């Protein structure tokens, strides 16, 4: 190999590279969701949050590019749906999501982060069992199970971002979704509805894009992080009163959340009021 060969130190961790690719406008008050098998919900900060309350709420501080801090919570992501698809012998995902979009919203929801969903195998049965255990209707079809999963993930995203905002005191005006989950338009829309905020989706291959952007900056092809983030996302606006219940008012998401355990969540009373600003 003829030399010299330039070597660029990028953000190293795949999540740090994904956050570097978030197409946020300069100065924007944004939160991010790195979606895939797991969802990582958080904020980009200038300094870590080291309070005991933050630790108790399962938030971590990781280094990002340019000395930033990735303040985030790890949330169960599309693992639940992936395992359901495997149990159903991989049906056409587009058809399944179209059918799920027609299912009654918030008919049944589960705690997507519960330990009972961590292991592989028989996921639709375990989701149905969790619904019955909390006095909710058990999903009776793949479409109903898929809607249950996506509604539950949207609520988990809302809870994670609301907690991040509360623990940091930071305002959030827009949510950026990056990673493989951006290909699931229904999940992006339900997240917008749940948060009461616009969701900007893309890029899908955020970790790879972030790595490329950092290398481009190192070679002088991009001036700064703001220029590197000038990528066009897909926008999902929260829907109003004529659309799903998650978008309809201050108590809806909180009441849906309470059904996961059969009691109201032990969090501040406004943590689930829309929007999460």
Q: Which residues are catalytic?
A: 14
Q: In what order do the strands lie in the sheet with 199-201?
A: 59-63, 69-76, 38-45, 30-35, 174-179, 199-201, 234-236
DSSP label of 5: P
174, 198 contact by CB (below 8 A): yes
- Cis peptide upstream of residue 150 (ω within 30 degrees of 0): no
**Contact of 193 with 244, CB cutoff 8 Å:** yes
The structure tokens listed for 216 are 């481009």
Radius of gyration of the chain measured on its C-alpha atoms: 19
Provide the angle, in degrees to the nearest 10, between the axes of the packed helices 79-87 and 123-133.
120
Q: Six-digit token pair at 35?
A: 């979606």
């Amino acid at each position: 190999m003829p030399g010299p060969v330039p070597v660029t130190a990028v953000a190293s961790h795949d999540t740090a590279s994904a956050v570097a690719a978030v197409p946020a406008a300069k100065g924007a008050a944004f939160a991010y969701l790195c979606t895939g098998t797991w969802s990582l919900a958080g904020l980009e900060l200038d300094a870590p949050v080291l309070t005991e309350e933050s630790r108790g709420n399962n938030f971590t501080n990781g280094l990002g590019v340019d000395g930033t801090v990735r303040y985030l919570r790890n949330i169960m992501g599309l693992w639940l749906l992936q395992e359901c698809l495997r149990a159903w012998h991989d049906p056409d995902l587009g058809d399944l999501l179209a059918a799920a979009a027609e299912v009654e919203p918030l008919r049944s929801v589960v705690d997507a982060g519960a330990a009972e969903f961590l292991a592989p195998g028989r996921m639709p049965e375990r989701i149905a069992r969790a619904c019955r255990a909390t006095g909710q209707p058990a999903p009776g079809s793949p479409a109903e199970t898929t809607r249950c999963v996506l509604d539950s993930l949207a609520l988990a995203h809302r809870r994670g971002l609301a907690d991040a905002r509360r623990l940091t005191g930071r305002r959030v005006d827009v949510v950026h979704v990056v990673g493989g989950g951006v290909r699931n338009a229904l999940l992006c829309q339900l997240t917008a509805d749940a948060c009461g905020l616009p969701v900007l989706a893309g890029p899908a291959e955020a970790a790879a894009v972030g790595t490329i952007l950092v290398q481009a900056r190192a070679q002088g092809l991009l001036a700064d992080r703001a220029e590197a983030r000038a990528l066009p996302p897909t926008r999902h606006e929260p829907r109003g009163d004529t659309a799903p219940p998650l978008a309809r008012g201050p108590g809806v998401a909180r009441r849906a959340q309470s059904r996961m355990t059969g009691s109201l969540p032990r969090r501040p009373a406004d943590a689930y009021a829309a929007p999460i600003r």
